[in-house]
Amino acid sequence: MRLTTLGFLVPWTVLICIQCSNWGIEVSAVWTAEARVGPAGAGEESGPVVGSGGEPTADLDQETAEIPLAVAPVPRLWQRFSFDSQHMGTTFRIILYATEEEVARRAAQAAFNRIAALDEIMSDYKSTSELMRLCQAFATEVGPPVRVSDDLFTVLTAAERLSRRSEGAFDVTVGPLSLLWRHARRTQELPAPQELAAARAKVGYDKVRLDPVRQTVQLTVPGMRLDLGGIAKGYAADQALQLLREEYGLSRALVAAWGDIACGDPPPTETAWRVQIAPIAAAHKPRFLNLSQAAVSTSGDLEQFVVIGGVRYSHVLDPRTGMGLTGRRSVTVIAPRGIDADSLTKAVSVLPVEQALRLIAETPGAAAYIALLDEATGEVREIASPRFAQFLAEPDKK
């Protein structure tokens, strides 16, 4: 994966731009170089009274002259910092604004440590992860419920809620099918019908029992395998932003992972982070968004797909059929939290357009943009939910 950061210097302004060739999203922000006084209240003390000549005036009475004069604090400039680290099979990028480099570095490292800890909990690639240990407990038989960590239970609860709302279009029990299609992409051969049927028998969100009182999980069919690939990165981005804000006081931050971005407060002097959605086809114009205290996720088969027998199959699976999606569709979802934006993109990708738009309309603060490409004609059909327009930004003027 190629990551580049471009900086173009113009008078007194720096244009900051992230380009991620296979993320499907570009982020930019403009920072005007100006003095910013640090924490709230830091600039509220009065400095010495200065006359026209720049020296303290001499016509103070005795009582006033004996009052110690406050020293004005040295203005501190906001600085932009960017940090990258590999987690969850992709590159996480943290962009934040701080007044001190050392604080920025400590904060970013703490956020990456949090993401790494979540990877150890939710990875379906690591046999030692908490998620895989949970699945292993039910590999051959239905044993007693297993108590899990707060993070894992939170994500599984959110996943179950969306599974019910989407009637199974989003389903983290899709793990057995994910394994089959990883093999299919390597060999460029469709899963055998008997293998597909055996995997589908172990899939179904109704086969997971969650007990919120005891915080336990039970899988009711032996051999089930959970796959959090459609929700974990969004949750990790949320948690990284929360840590930066609550433990380091850095609210002007953005966390990006592949096609998932969580935005905190905007950069200094700006009202929002500017995000570009990559077009579904080269001839199609990109879309631009203004986001603050919101998350965005894009899902599609622009990079991840396999062509078998002349049919293009997306890496996004329909849990109800066990098949990779066909037809070219790119989905972008905006939501207040990354965990919601991340998971909703998968549900909206799977559902018929009308049902997908109803799901978005029923989700507070959510908006969606769907692009459908007719490969025969090259025409692109665009559908947006009503709330999507409020996030649209003007395109770059070129």
Which phi and psi angles does 382 have, rounded to 5°? -115, 130
So what's the pLDDT on residue 40? 33
Structure tokens at 214: 């005891």
Buried b (16+ CB within 10 A) or exposed e, 19-38: bbeebbbbbbbebeeeebbb
Counting Cβ atoms within 10 Å, is residue 311 exposed (0-12), middle (13-18) or buried (19+)? exposed
For residue 221, what pLDDT band results from cuts at 50, 70 and 90?
Answer: very high
Min mean pLDDT across 53-57, 212-216, 311-315 is at 53-57
253: left (phi over 0), alpha (psi -120 to 50) or beta: beta
β-bridge mates for residue 382, sequence order? 371
Element of type H or E holding 288: strand 287-291
So what's the pLDDT on residue 228? 97
Q: Are 252 and 264 in contact (CB under 8 A)?
A: yes
3-state SS assignment for residue 381:
strand
Most confident of 68-82, 283-297, 332-346, 368-382: 332-346
Min mean pLDDT across 4-8, 66-70, 184-188, 330-334 is at 4-8
**pTM of this structure:** 0.81
So what's the pLDDT on residue 259? 85
So what's the pLDDT on residue 287? 85
Which of residues 337 and 373 earns the better pLDDT score? 337
For the chain, how are helix, strand and coil distributed in percent, rounded to 5? 30, 30, 40
pLDDT tens figures, 81-131? 999 999 999 999 999 999 999 999 999 999 999 999 999 999 999 999 999
Which of residues 387 and 284 earns the better pLDDT score? 387
Q: How far is CA 273 from the centre of its chain?
A: 14
So what's the pLDDT on residue 206? 97
Element of type H or E holding 374: none
Residue 28 above 70 pLDDT? no
So what's the pLDDT on residue 71? 59
Q: Are 257 and 91 in contact (CB under 8 A)?
A: yes
So what's the pLDDT on residue 334? 98
Q: Report the distance separating Cα 8 and Cα 17, nearest Å.
A: 9
Q: What is the mean pLDDT of residues 278-305?
A: 83
Q: Are 162 and 337 in contact (CB under 8 A)?
A: no
So what's the pLDDT on residue 75? 56
Helix axes 101-122, 232-248, angle to 10 degrees: 150
Min mean pLDDT across 45-49, 321-325, 366-370 is at 45-49
So what's the pLDDT on residue 1? 39
pLDDT tens figures, 279-288? 776 667 788 9
Q: How many CB atoms lie within 10 A of CB 44?
A: 9
Residue 182 above 60 pLDDT? yes
